[in-house]
Amino acid sequence: MITICRQFFKFGVVGLINTILTYLIYTLLYKATSPTDAMAIGYGITSVIGLTINRKWVFKSNHNWILVAKYYLTYLFTWTLSIVVTDVASNYFHVLASIIPLITLFVTTPTNFVLSKYWVFKTTRIKEASAHESTD
């Protein structure tokens, strides 16, 4: 249980860093492009940062191409979800462009955590939990 709480906290820290960076990229680009394009670019750039930090710090996983593929499939899904939410909020509900990233955050963060924990890093999580149980 302690491991899960630590992972959730660390995942949240990584998410906060990525959210801030995505928002900065978004605010720099949305007037020059569109809210949808700006969100897509920001989300894409910060996915590389998220992979690196989550792999090394949160889930303490070795580099593995299957893990990378799963991670990017997860990010592709949540990136697409982010773009859909942005498009709907912008074009159908006419939400202020400056707060759309906050709305996408409430949808994509839980989705990304669940997929990362139970699919991408599933075997790593089990190995790490076993290692902690034997030392606790």
104-129 pLDDT tens trace = 988 988 898 889 988 998 864 444 44
pLDDT per position as a tens digit, 37-92: 998 999 889 988 999 899 889 988 877 899 989 999 998 999 899 999 999 999 99
**Nearest to residue 98, comparing CAs of 20, 19, 3, 26?**
26
pLDDT above 70 for 133: no
Long-range contact list for 97-104, CB < 8 A, 24+ apart?
A: 97/30, 97/35, 98/27, 100/35, 100/39, 101/19, 101/22, 101/23, 101/26, 101/39, 104/39
Q: Which residue has the tokens 């992972």?
A: 7
